[in-house]
A and B are shown apart, each in its own frame.
Chain A
Amino acid sequence: MNTPLPNIDLQTVYYALAAVVLPFTAFLVNLFISGKNSKISGWVSTGAILVSAVFAVMVFGRVWNSHAIHAQQLWFTIGQTPVYAGVWLNNLSVLMLLLVTVIALPVHVYSTAYIKTHENNRYFTYLSLFCFSMLALVVVDSLVLLYAFWELVGFSSYLLIGFWFTRDSAVQANKKAFIMNRIGDIGLLTAIIILFSQYHTFDLIQLFGDNGLVVKSIIKNDRWIGPVSQIAATWQYVACIGIFLAVAAKSAQFPLHTWLPDAMEGPTSVSALIHAATMVAAGVFLLGRVYPMFNIQELDALAVIGCFTAFMAATIALTQNDLKRILAYSTISQLGYMIMAMGINAYASSLFHLVTHAFFKCLLFLCSGVIIHEMQHIKEENQLDIDPQNILYMGGLRKKLPITFIACVIGCLALVGLPLTSGYLSKDGILIQSFEWAEGRSTWGYLIPVGIMLTSCLTAFYVARLIFKVFFGKFRLKEILPDVHLHISDGGWQYTLPLIFLSLCSLFPLFSLNPFLYEHAWLYKGFVPSNYLARESIYHTIIPVIINLASVFVAYWAYAVYIQQRKLVFPQTSFLFRLSYNQWYIDAFYRKVIANAAVQLGQVLFWLDRNVVDGLVHLLTKVTGWLSALTAWTDRYIVDGTLHLIAAIASAIGNFFRSFQGGKVQYYLFSMLAVILALFIIKLLI
């Protein structure tokens, strides 16, 4: 940082750092000191997140709607490029900081009771790591750090989803989540590399701040022209697709959404955290950070994908029987809303919905945790072989679990978006803005607001189905097995207190004093420019009325179907039912096409490896063998042969001369005589 920060800002930065680092400290303490004692580590983690939340509130109070604070330090230098590490506290990041800590706190408290039955584990260690990763992700100011924490969020969620690692399904689920997220990570990495090669910096403020490098860049004549350099325009699209992939993987958008329903294999408290504030929020947060990247066409694509995801997930949620799976698909659906809101330029509404959704979805998951816990209790007490998450076994639980029932109804109303709840404010904001967005478009543009309206009605139906099946009617397990014993209750304060807290947060007063007009919510003032706030068009009045009437009607219809046992409208064998029940066959498609292709590719590669690569090596071995055999033959018969020949000649000559030395004196004499005679003869002849 070139200019020193004023003292007060420096203090704020320290507070923010403390809020981020405290869960990490808890992680280290739990890892090295508390070990696997989950009781101690639970209170360490909870204490850390409590203090962290207090710091987050202080930081929020200082930064929100005041000035953004940016502090950085030189981290390292590659060649000529200095890479800085620092924090960037603006409205977006302090909002996320606050949201994550405030959602994580009740989840921690809840977990201390929920996880107690499974003694000796590292649950809280992982949970602290998860919170730390997410908190760090929202405050960092550089793409490198962002990527690092992005990965860390994925990794710690992997640990938590696979928490019950002895179950095969949990292992499969966390593998799936991890692989799906890797696809997104590749996208983000690609985008970071492209951005760096275009702008030569990793700094988020320089890139995406007001009057940042990205804003100043234009696309002209198929060139992407930035203030520093220019490259082909294709790279801009590739970068945007990369970011979209990252967002789709983390925030579970089509086509990378299939990991989220499977991630239900983790403990319910983890699901609550993943679905509310940490994991899936990371995608929307990233989109918020890099928002200036996207041009009009790319935003349209976002809107279409978001809308499609919302609709698809809502149709799937209609027929699922697994309590958590219904909630998971509703999360995907709501995330679709947020992405679509980003796409239609309703930036503030998207983040507003993220915040309200975090509260009521966390609430719903914690409620489902209580229900599942009690069903598990019944199952173990009576030694039944049932799935504790199946809503077909439930019913009439409102008398047994009154607090959970009320909390769950509040959460569901917020999810549907009925008045007096926070969901009403944020959801109607998105709906109204989608209509205003479509006004300036062709007829096709109206598909998006209409689709999103339809999704709202579907939401009302599946939520009503959930409530009626779980809390109303008769307890169906009792109907099947009349002698079943029921000793269930809402549980201790660790259960009820988070539920009450989150229920209060899901109501309207936290966000707007006027329960009917979303435009009055204080959150909008933090994000300029917040469009569509003026109540100039008719949509601002008519949409909320229509959508609420439709929702109430649909909910009543569901009541008629499920409680009064009227005839089902859709037979359970129709194509649409099967499409929804089998989750649009997307998983099956992936398994058949992509996984099979990957496996077959693997087999082909294995064959290649076995036969071609190994074959080459074997051929080489053989050739070498032959060569050495040849060399050995040459050595033995030619090199050694020559030597042996010479030796044999020498030996023959020696033997010849030795034969004269026979030890017979007369023979010697005869030799001498012969030699002398020969000499004489030679002399005579010459």
Chain B
Amino acid sequence: MITMTHYLVLSAGLFCIGLYVILAKQNAVQILIGIELMLNAAILNLVAFSRFDKLNNSGQTFALFAIVLAAASTAVALAIILNVYRRYRTIDPGKVNQLKD
């Protein structure tokens, strides 16, 4: 039987994968994917915890909102990446380092 723990473990695993992707990849789009993974791990938790609120399903509602917002923010992030590419001819975040001192 699939218990709550399995969800949480899966979620934690997703989060960790996302975190690794963010930290290790040298492509802004892949980092964006990492962010989505971490976001989805959080959303998975929300959905899993909504089991305790069967009346209003507030967890699932919150998840829906989060998915929408994530889509929006991803759109913005892609636009930024496009601009970055135009300006720097690269999307490797390691090379976009003009903010350093």
Contacts and interface: CB of A to CB of B under 8 A. Distances in A.
Interface in A457-483: none
B97 interface: yes
B63 interface: no
B73 to A, nearest CB: 16
B23 A666 contact: yes
Interface in A660-686: 661-666, 669-670, 673
Contact of A663 (B22, B24, B31, B98): B98
B101 A670 contact: no
Contacts of B87: none
A289 B99 CA distance: 112
B84 to A, nearest CB: 11
Interface string B22-63: 111000000100000000000000000000000000000000
A593 B31 CA distance: 115
Contacts of B97: 662-664
B100 A673 contact: no
A664 B97 CA distance: 6
A658 interface: yes
B19 interface: yes
A669 B23 CA distance: 7
Nearest to B99: A663
B23 A670 contact: yes
B93 interface: yes
B57 to A, nearest CB: 32
Nearest to A658: B101
B63 to A, nearest CB: 25
B93 A673 contact: no
A665 B101 contact: no
A663 B93 CA distance: 9
Contacts, number: 28
A658 B97 CA distance: 14
Contacts of A661: 100-101
A662 B31 CA distance: 19
Contacts of B94: 664, 666
Contacts of B22: 666, 669
A669 B100 CA distance: 15
B23 A673 contact: yes
Contacts of B100: 661-664
Interface residues of B, number: 13
Contacts of A665: 93, 96
B93 A664 contact: yes
Interface residues of A, number: 10
A286 B34 CA distance: 131
Contacts of A673: 19, 23
Contacts of A664: 93-94, 97, 100
A444 B23 CA distance: 138
Contacts of B96: 663, 665
Interface in B68-101: 93-94, 96-101
A673 B97 CA distance: 20
Contacts of A669: 22-23
B34 to A, nearest CB: 10
B35 to A, nearest CB: 11
A664 B23 CA distance: 11
B19 to A, nearest CB: 7
A666 B93 contact: yes
A663 B94 CA distance: 8
B78 to A, nearest CB: 16
A673 to B, nearest CB: 7
Nearest to B95: A664
Nearest to B94: A664
A670 B31 CA distance: 13
Contacts of B24: 666
Nearest to B22: A669
Contacts of B101: 658, 661, 663
A577 B98 CA distance: 119
A490 B74 CA distance: 145
Nearest to A670: B23
A661 B99 CA distance: 9
Contacts of A670: 23
B23 to A, nearest CB: 5
A661 B101 CA distance: 7
Nearest to B26: A666
A673 B96 CA distance: 21
A670 B34 CA distance: 14
A673 B15 CA distance: 13
A666 B28 CA distance: 10
Contacts of A658: 101
A249 B55 CA distance: 146
A55 B96 CA distance: 123
Nearest to A667: B94
A665 B100 CA distance: 10
Contacts of B93: 664-666
A367 to B, nearest CB: 115
Interface string A147-178: 00000000000000000000000000000000
A656 to B, nearest CB: 13
Interface in B1-35: 19, 22-24, 31
Nearest to B25: A666
B81 to A, nearest CB: 12
A169 B30 CA distance: 119
B36 to A, nearest CB: 16
A18 B93 CA distance: 121
A662 B98 CA distance: 9
A666 B19 CA distance: 10
A664 B19 CA distance: 16
Nearest to B28: A665
Q: Which residue, of A658, A662, A666, has the highest number of chain B Cβ atoms within 10 A?
A: A666
B94 to A, nearest CB: 5
Nearest to B100: A663
A665 B101 CA distance: 14
A664 B26 CA distance: 11
A370 to B, nearest CB: 113
B77 to A, nearest CB: 12
A56 to B, nearest CB: 110
B26 to A, nearest CB: 8
A466 B100 CA distance: 121
Contacts of B98: 663
Interface in A394-424: none
A340 B93 CA distance: 129
Interface of B: 19, 22-24, 31, 93-94, 96-101
24 contacts: A658-B101, A661-B100, A661-B101, A662-B97, A663-B96, A663-B97, A663-B98, A663-B100, A663-B101, A664-B93, A664-B94, A664-B97, A664-B100, A665-B93, A666-B22, A666-B23, A666-B24, A666-B31, A666-B93, A666-B94, A669-B23, A670-B23, A673-B19, A673-B23
3 smallest CB-CB distances across A and B, nearest first, come from: A663-B100, A663-B97, A665-B93
Given A663-B100, A669-B23, A673-B19, 5 more contacts: A664-B97, A665-B96, A666-B22, A666-B31, A666-B94
